[in-house]
């Protein structure tokens, strides 16, 4: 019998670098599988359907909500995002460690559905750094950046609810810390 895979929920305010850290650390763990969320937003440059997100229509997303297919779903900055329960269970049953890249509310929903999940909060070193990262990303207009910064203040207050906190002030250092956290979680899951 295969042991169910661990669950690592990584969350952060938009622009804090959670996706960058996950993409840098997760490939070092062959047992890790990225949970690909569904979204109604349009792809950003370089994003691929089924790899970065599963891009679906608003109607399809609403149908999935009605059918109870999501572990968690949220409307964030005008778009819907959700984690399909079927995919999570498929990966865990295969013994994979499921890595989630979700917002703070999504992290809370996953922890409610799967109390054994471990959570990591990625914090920016400062609001100014976060503003600079969001601006340099170039995917949002100034109003959207201000909405994201306002949401970030609320999200930062939730970090005490997470099992681990990584301050992303230096990418190499933060990636090393995230790698140690992954190792800790995987070791705990084997016990």
Task: Evaluate whether 83 touches 110 at the Cβ level (below 8 Å).
Answer: yes
Q: Report the run of H or E that residue 165 belongs to, with start and end.
A: strand 164-167
Whole-number pLDDT of residue 139 = 67
Tokens 């109003």 correspond to 143
Taking the C-alpha atoms of residue 103 and residue 97, their distance in angstroms, rounded to an integer, is 19
User: 167: domain range?
Assistant: 7-190
The answer to whether position 115 is within a domain reads: yes
* 162 lies in some domain: yes
pLDDT of residue 162: 95
End-to-end CA distance of the chain: 15
Number of separate domains in the chain: 1
Whether residue 117 lies inside any domain: the answer is yes
Query: pTM of the predicted model, to two decimals?
Result: 0.82
- What CATH number does residue 74 fall under? 3.40.50.300
Q: CB count, 10 Å around CB of 71? A: 23
In a domain, 1, yes or no: no
- At 1 the pLDDT is 42
Kindly write down the DSSP assignment for every residue of 12-65, as one continuous string: -STTSSHHHHHHHHGGG-TTEEE---EESSPPPTT--BTTTBEE--HHHHHHHH
Averaged in consecutive runs of 10 residues, what is the pLDDT profile of the chain (191 residues)? 81 84 93 92 90 94 96 87 93 92 89 95 80 70 75 80 93 96 89 63
Residue 2 counted as domain residue: no
Residue 13 domain-assigned (yes or no)? yes
């Amino acid at each position: 019998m295969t042991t169910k895979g661990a669950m690592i929920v990584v969350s952060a305010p938009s622009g804090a670098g959670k996706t960058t850290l996950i993409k840098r650390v997760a490939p070092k763990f062959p047992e890790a599988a990225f949970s690909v969320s569904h979204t109604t937003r349009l792809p950003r440059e370089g994003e691929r359907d089924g790899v970065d997100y599963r891009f679906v229509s608003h109607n399809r997303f609403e149908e999935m909500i009605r059918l109870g297919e999501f572990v968690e779903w949220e409307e964030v900055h005008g778009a819907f995002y959700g984690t399909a329960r079927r995919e999570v269970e498929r990966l865990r049953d295969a013994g994979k460690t499921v890595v989630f890249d979700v917002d703070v509310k999504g992290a809370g929903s996953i922890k409610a559905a799967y109390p054994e999940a471990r959570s990591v909060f990625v914090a920016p070193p400062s609001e100014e750094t976060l503003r600079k990262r969001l601006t340099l990303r170039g995917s949002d207009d100034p109003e959207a950046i201000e909405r994201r910064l306002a949401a970030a203040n609320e999200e930062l207050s939730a970090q005490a609810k997470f099992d681990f906190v990584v301050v992303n002030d230096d990418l190499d250092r933060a990636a090393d810390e995230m790698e140690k956290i992954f190792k800790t979680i995987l070791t705990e899951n084997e016990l």
